[in-house]
Amino acid sequence: MSEASSPQSTTVALAVFSAAKDIQSIEGLLLRLQRKADLLMPGGITEAANWCASNASAQVLVVDIADHPHPLAALLELATQCGPACRIVALGVQDDVVLYRQLLSAGIFDYLLKPLRLDILADTLARAEEDRPLGQGGIVRAGRTVAVVGTSGGVGTSTLITALGQWLTQVQHTPTVLVDFDRRQSDLPLLLGLEADAGLAHLLEAPSIDPRLLQRTLLNGSVGTTASRLQLLAQRPGPETAIAPERVLELGAALCQLFSLSLWDLPSHRPCGSDEVLSHADIRIVLTELNVQGARNTQRLLSDIGDESDGQQLLLVSSSAHHTGPAVLSAEQFESFVGRTINAHLPHAGPSLAASLLQGALERNNAPAYAQAIAGLGRNLLNLPAQATTEPVSGLLQRLTKSLGLPSKPRHAAV
């Protein structure tokens, strides 16, 4: 047999065939995980089959099935061609339990929905390399943990968490709990218009986390709403007594069984238990200001909490909480110093957010630009595609006209 007609024997650990429009995104996710595909090509099942016909099978083969009319039959043929040692991971857009069951029954290792989520991709690739199917070993969690920490006090961490929790529950209807771990200040109850008790302190001091005690300790995050999806775990301001880090992790695991998202407000001085939350959180948000002190504190914090190679998403957010004019450092200068790109920016909200507290809970929509930034950050957390969140000008004018009691002008049809 000639060399040209025999399959190449070079071992390929990871080969990816995906739609051309998704190649850059997948490459970016792999880079964040400090992984590199031996082969990353545009295409789908047909292209993967053609490649396998003249090459040694990959250990892990990721293939896009979204545009194939009969993916199940084609994947069965591809699996026969690749051999039993190859773990095939299918990518698609069809959120269908029946299809998922058929794929698993056919021997496909796993099926991932696009757009891909960093933590799920990391877990899938790790399991595929170990040939460990889903459900064999590991801990099943119903929800995810988001740890939010500021590089210094006063950058707006508590305001960010409150507004984000409101958006997640009111707009996306996602069951969410806010954990106020700043036990000295405990600002979240004020921002939600609530009166905190000693709930968090009692849980951390208890011999074990009792689910019934935990549920009784939670505060309803929406005043006057009997079935709110937003809950709060906090305590009255007081001293930060010594606690066992294991208790904090136990509390976090219990919250993940009750809520889709757990948002932890971690103070910048990172008291006992904060680093454990940061180490195990699915998503870490670092909030900072664009100045020299913020850059130094950010660089130090990032070196402590690590990167995204374990599948933990890391978002760097800049804040203009203290100023309305140009930042001391430009975004480019800041990113060059800390060695990381800024993912989002929270604009200065002015006195409108603080003024809303006189009426009760924080009202993020009093600061439209700030509310829009919160919506963008929330969509990132939920892995939703970015979209315009501003209200159309015509709709805004109609609301203002109605509220002022002015006659509305007729809308002329376009010629």
pLDDT tens sequence across 272-292: 999 999 999 999 999 999 999
Say yes or no: 208 and 116 in one domain.
no
Total domains present in the chain: 2
Say yes or no: 212 and 342 in one domain.
yes
Say yes or no: 257 and 166 in one domain.
yes
Nearest Cα to 370, choosing from 353, 339, 349? 349
Say yes or no: 75 and 150 in one domain.
no
> 320 with 294: CB under 8 angstroms?
no
Q: Compute the average pLDDT of residues 253-263.
A: 94
- Can you say how many angstroms the Cα of residue 29 is from the centroid of all Cα atoms in its chain? 13
- Cα separation, 82 vs 341, in Å, equals 39
CATH number, domain containing residue 151: 3.40.50.300
Say yes or no: 299 and 166 in one domain.
yes
pLDDT the model gives residue 36: 92
Nearest Cα to 287, choosing from 265, 260, 309, 307? 265
Query: Which DSSP category does 406 fall into?
Result: P
pLDDT the model gives residue 390: 44
> 161 with 291: CB under 8 angstroms?
no
Element (H, E) at 390: none
pLDDT the model gives residue 57: 81
Cα 389–Cα 158–Cα 143 angle in degrees, nearest 5:
70
Is residue 225 scored above 50 in pLDDT? no
Say yes or no: 120 and 151 in one domain.
no
pLDDT the model gives residue 380: 94
Say yes or no: 263 and 196 in one domain.
yes
- Cα separation, 54 vs 1, in Å, equals 13
Q: Is residue 391 part of a domain?
A: no
Q: What is the pTM of this model?
A: 0.84
Is residue 138 scored above 60 in pLDDT? no
Say yes or no: 193 and 293 in one domain.
yes
| Residue 196 banded pLDDT, cuts 50, 70, 90 | confident
Nearest Cα to 185, choosing from 220, 134, 235? 235
**pLDDT mean across residues, the chain:** 87
- Can you say how many angstroms the Cα of residue 298 is from the centroid of all Cα atoms in its chain? 20
pLDDT the model gives residue 229: 86
Chosen domain end from 101, 129, 157: 129
Which residue range is the domain that position 347 belongs to?
144-383
